[in-house]
């Protein structure tokens, strides 16, 4: 009881910081929900932009006259740029009004996608995708803190943002694949550019102006980097994200080995599990320490299950649990880092984003090497081991807000 009370207090502190915005920027009730959903449209547009190459990779590679492996660098370039951008962007914009920053980042994503539409070759595509990485990392670094300051409801904001991400990955990538066959891969990038513009218009209409936090910038980042508790938690975040991104690119191979006629349906089951995981992460955040540890534990069990499944029933159960476990992780870890650093949420979340983006890049390299050398099961098993380590990190670490 004492532990959960402390954790509740930590989550609450993330919305009760003394540097909260002026009263006229606060919203409540139904308006808070609308604001959180408006912010999530940006995450949907940006995450959809990040992973849309996965849905159109063959056409993209053929048109650009490169191998599919080289075309896949379009995702890696975005993740790598995001990993470098997330911890630095707040330092570069310490006093900028935050709504204007979000709108500018969505504009940058729009430009990136439009450049891809007209790019004659892979080098310009990769340059455009670097710009997208900047937009994604910046948006994720700022948006949670902004949402909490405006609504005062951390769990609502985190769940809404995660739902936007799920919508992009569950609906966006398969839809991009279908549209790529119908209208061409360049048209798909034009459509996602239009979605980014629409998101910016919604955000401008719903979100009030939000001033920068006092002390935001380099000094705030220095302070969070000195927090041993936070940095230990970031290691846990990185391990949890690495667990998924080492294994996820090969989920189709695992499904096809056991149930080749049901690949699409089982992938849809993963997506349904993901939606459940998003909602469960928000609900269980009242027991934050245990929810944050449970997410990678579920992921580990699911990866072991999928890797060892010989029958469709066990495969389906493992795949659904995979969706649940992984999609709990962004919600719970975002709440965890802001509970530990309630007055430095921007910097804390930027480090969480860095961990995720770095994990996408490193996971792609490790997973690819394992698949080429030992088969896809090795990638799934390594992911499971990393998830176990992440769970152990969060079981050991307390949720203790820093109040200095």
pLDDT digits (tens, 9 = 90+) for 2-37: 344 444 444 554 444 434 444 446 666 788 899 999
pLDDT for 193-220, tens place per residue? 999 999 999 999 999 988 877 656 677 7
pTM of the model: 0.78
Residue 246 pLDDT > 80: yes
Mean pLDDT value across the chain: 85
pLDDT for 361-399, tens place per residue? 888 778 878 877 888 899 899 999 999 999 999 999 998
DSSP letters along 103-165, please? HHHHHHHHHHHHHHHH-SSHHHHHHHHHHHHHHHHHHHHHHHHHHHHHHS-HHHHHHHHHHHH
Judge contact between 80 and 70, C-beta under 8 A. Answer: no
pLDDT on residue 289? 94
Q: Per mean pLDDT, which range of 8-12, 78-82, 124-128, 195-199 is the poorest?
A: 8-12
C-alpha closest to that of 394 among 281, 262, 259, 315: 281
Mean pLDDT of 319-325: 94
Distance CA 200, CA 242 (A): 31
Q: Is the dihedral of CA 91, 49, 337, 225 positive or negative?
A: negative
Distance CA 102, CA 136 (A): 10
Q: Which residue has the higher pLDDT, 47 or 12?
A: 47
Place of tokens 């609502």: 156
pLDDT on residue 155? 81
Residue 403 pLDDT > 70: no
Give me 50's structure tokens: 């990040």
pLDDT on residue 11? 52
Same fold, 1-19+215-404 and 25-212: yes
pLDDT on residue 6? 45
C-alpha closest to that of 129 among 119, 143, 144: 119
Give me 272's structure tokens: 């349904």
pLDDT band at 230 (very low <50, low <70, confident <90, very high): very high
Domain ranges of the chain: 1-19+215-404, 25-212
Q: Which residue has the higher pLDDT, 359 or 239?
A: 239
Per the document, the length of the chain is 404
Give me 141's structure tokens: 């670094």
pLDDT on residue 5? 41
DSSP letters along 199-214, please? HHHHHHHHSPP-PPPT
Half-sphere exposure of 188 (CA within 13 A, CB side): 26
Mean pLDDT of 72-88: 81
Domain 1-19+215-404 CATH superfamily: MFS general substrate transporter like domains (1.20.1250.20)
The helices-and-strands tally (H runs, E runs) of the chain is: 18, 0
In the CATH hierarchy, which fold is given to the domain comprising 25-212? Growth Hormone; Chain: A; (1.20.1250)
Distance CA 33, CA 282 (A): 14
Q: Percent of the chain at pLDDT above 70? A: 89
pLDDT on residue 404? 62
Mean pLDDT of 55-79: 79
Give me 370's structure tokens: 């394992």
Burial of residue 205, with CB atoms counted within 10 A of its CB: 0-12 exposed, 13-18 middle, 19 or more buried: exposed
């Amino acid at each position: 009881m004492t532990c959960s009370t402390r954790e509740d207090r930590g989550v609450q502190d993330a919305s009760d910081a003394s540097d909260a915005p002026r009263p006229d920027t606060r919203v409540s009730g139904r308006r808070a929900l609308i604001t959180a959903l408006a912010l999530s449209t940006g995450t949907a547009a940006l995450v959809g932009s990040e992973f849309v190459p996965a849905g159109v990779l063959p056409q993209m590679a053929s048109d650009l006259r490169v191998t599919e492996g080289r075309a896949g660098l379009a995702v890696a370039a975005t993740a790598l740029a995001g990993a470098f951008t997330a911890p630095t962007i707040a330092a570069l914009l310490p006093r900028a009004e935050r709504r204007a920053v979000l709108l500018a980042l969505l504009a940058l994503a729009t430009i990136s996608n439009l450049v891809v539409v007209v790019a004659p070759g892979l080098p310009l595509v990769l340059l455009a995708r670097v710009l997208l990485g900047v937009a994604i990392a910046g948006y994720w670094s700022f948006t949670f803190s902004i949402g909490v300051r405006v609504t005062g409801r951390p769990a609502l904001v985190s769940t809404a943002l995660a739902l936007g991400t799920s919508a992009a990955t569950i609906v966006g990538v398969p839809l991009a694949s279908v549209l790529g066959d119908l209208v061409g891969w360049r048209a798909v990038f034009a459509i996602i550019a239009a979605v980014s513009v629409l998101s910016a218009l919604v955000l401008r209409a719903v979100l009030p102006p939000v001033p920068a936090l006092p002390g935001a910038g380099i000094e705030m980042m220095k302070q969070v980097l000195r927090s041993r508790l936070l940095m230990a938690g970031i290691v846990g975040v990185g391990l949890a994200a690495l667990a998924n991104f080492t294994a996820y690119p090969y989920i189709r191979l695992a499904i096809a080995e056991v149930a080749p006629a049901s690949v699409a349906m089982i992938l849809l089951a993963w997506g349904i599990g993901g939606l459940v995981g998003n909602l469960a992460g928000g609900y269980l955040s009242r027991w934050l320490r245990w929810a944050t540890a449970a997410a990678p534990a579920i992921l580990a069990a699911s990866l072991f299950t999928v890797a060892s499944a010989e029958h469709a029933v066990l495969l389906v159960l493992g795949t659904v649990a995979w969706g649940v476990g992984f999609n709990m992780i962004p919600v719970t870890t975002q709440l965890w880092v802001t509970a530990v650093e309630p007055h430095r949420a921007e910097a804390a979340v930027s480090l969480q984003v860095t961990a995720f983006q770095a994990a996408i890049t490193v996971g792609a390299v490790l997973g690819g090497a394992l698949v080429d050398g030992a088969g896809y099961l090795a990638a799934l098993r390594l992911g499971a081991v990393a998830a176990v380590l992440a769970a152990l990190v969060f079981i050991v670490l307390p949720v203790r807000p820093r109040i200095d």
